Amino acid sequence: MSSTNLIGLLPSELEDLAVALGASRYRGRQLATWMYRKGVFALDAMSDLPKEFRSVLAESRTVTLPDVERVTPSQDGSRKLVFRLEDDNRVSAVIMPDDDRITLCLSTQVGCGFACAFCLTGTMGLERNLTAGEIVGQLLTANALLAEEGRRVTHMVFMGMGEPLANYAALVKAVRIFIDPKLGVGYSPRRITVSTVGLVTGIEKLGREDLKVNLAISLHAASDEVRSQLMPVNTSWNLAALMDAARKYPLATRQRVFFEYVMLDGVNDDVEDARRLARLLRGVKAKVNLIPFNDWEGSRFQRPPLPRILAFQSVLLDAGITTTVRWSKGEDIGAACGQLREPIPA
Ligand code: SAH
């Protein structure tokens, strides 16, 4: 891919590059500031960089954001951005405004290889990993779009296409660029959530990075039997292993691990399932997000009726577990959880 792209390089790598091109490290810091802090992407507009350095840079490097192929607005105020990548693959990101927050849902892979039974992205299979530049580019593009309205992304969730922990190096690099307070984009890690299908070694590794980002685990069932039916990954890392990793993930005082639970009619939505879930989460600093299933053509699941969802929720609440029902945004534009799919070029 575009290894020549400056977007996606860590500030320290930009410093190294400046030196390699015969300039000082300071020039690398200026570059980082222009791209990540000021959102300026034209080398010619980087006015405090010496002309000579700019032209040496331009000979071998580019500052490239992924092309926005279309922006689809939803009734509910969210917007789906579909990016066309250099190899014509497509991924999407979703801008979701909510009161004073604007959350951006980011993709990390073209398609996904984990084949969860209820997820449309899972039907695509894995095409390829995104580069750090393509991940960072989604945020920078969203912020450029929002800047026209005097706003910016306030929170990020890695809940778009793909499995973030299966594209570990690019994920961590993108997060480092997002949270670097001086030369990166400057987000607090507490405003960033990495969601995983349950890759135990990835969770352990992420914990050791000490990035302090939030961890969300897609749980979806409280027994191995049901979970293995819904999520093939459960046959590699079962609930016991997963919960062990969740317990060990380093948390700040009021921080919790988020557990996502897609509600599937007649599959995992019984009060007995809720009781089992409450037992499973005993002693875990957890917050549960119940996601009523979002339908897609050809799926074999249905959303439970509202009373069933609420009955499930109240079992958890009674057990003292913070539990919210998360109505997905962008359902009308195919932008809701589990609805992201784009055609793969021939
Ligand atoms: N691969 C990561 C990131 C994707 S997050 C992960 O699995 O966590 C997207 C979330 O939406 C996951 O919790 C996923 O299980 C959930 N989801 C998938 N399909 C869905 C659907 N049809 N309706 C509601 N939620 C769905």
CA 261 to ligand 1 centroid distance, Å? 9
Residue nearest to atom 25 of ligand 1 (CA): 337
* Pocket lining for ligand 1, CB < 6 angstroms: 116, 118-119, 159, 163, 195-197, 218, 260, 262, 291, 293-294, 337-338
pLDDT of amino acid 94: 97
- For 175-194, the pLDDT digits (tens) are 999 999 999 999 999 999 99
Cα 181 versus chain centre, distance: 20
Q: How far is the CA of 162 from the centre of ligand 1 (A)?
A: 10
Percent of all residues in the chain with a pLDDT value above 70, rounded to a whole number: 99
Please, which pLDDT band fits residue 199 given cuts at 50, 70 and 90? very high
Ligand 1 atom 8 nearest Cα: 196
Give the pLDDT mean for 237-255.
97
Q: What's the average model confidence in pLDDT over 32-52?
A: 96
* CA 171/CA 56 separation, integer angstroms: 29
Ligand 1 binding pocket mutation candidate from 218, 329, 341 (most atoms within 8 A of CB): 218
**Ligand 1 centroid to residue 197 C-alpha, Å:** 8
97: its two tokens: 């405004």
Q: What is the mean pLDDT of the chain?
A: 96
- C-alpha closest to that of 279 among 320, 238, 332, 325: 320
User: Which residue is closest in CA terms to ligand 1's atom 11?
Assistant: 337
Q: Which atom of ligand 1 is nearest to the CA of 195?
A: 8
Q: Which of 92, 94, 116, 121 to mutate to test the pocket of ligand 1 (most atoms within 8 A of CB)?
A: 116
Q: Which ligand 1 atom sits closest to the C-alpha of 217?
A: 8
Structure token pair of residue 115 = 């084949």
Cα(196) to ligand 1 centroid in Å equals 9
* pTM for the structure as a whole: 0.96
DSSP symbol at 51: H
| CA 188 to ligand 1 centroid distance, Å | 24
pLDDT digits (tens, 9 = 90+) for 48-61: 999 999 999 999 99
Q: Ligand 1 centroid to 311 CA: how many Å?
A: 22
Cα–Cα distance measured from residue 308 to residue 172, given in angstroms and rounded to the nearest whole number: 38
Is residue 131 within 8 A of residue 186, CB to CB? The reply is no
Residues 201-223 have pLDDT tens digits of 999 999 999 899 999 999 999 99
Q: What tens digit of pLDDT does each residue of 99-117 get?
A: 999 999 999 999 999 999 9
Q: Give residue-wise pLDDT tens across range 119-160.
A: 999 999 999 999 999 999 999 999 999 999 999 999 999 999
Residue 234 CA to ligand 1 centre (angstroms): 15
| Separation of CA 250 and ligand 1 centre (Å) | 23
Atom of ligand 1 nearest to the CA of 337: 11
pLDDT at site 337: 86
Nearest atom within ligand 1 for CA of residue 158: 3
Which residues, at least 6 apart from 240, have a Cβ–Cβ distance to it below 8 Å? none
pLDDT, residue 3, reads 63
CA distances from 144 to 7, 39, 41, 161 (A): 14, 7, 10, 21
Greatest extent of the chain over all pairs of C-alpha atoms, in Å: 69
Q: Ligand 1 atom 1: the closest Cα is on which residue? A: 163
For a substitution probing ligand 1, which of 291, 303, 325 has the most ligand atoms within 8 Å of its CB?
291
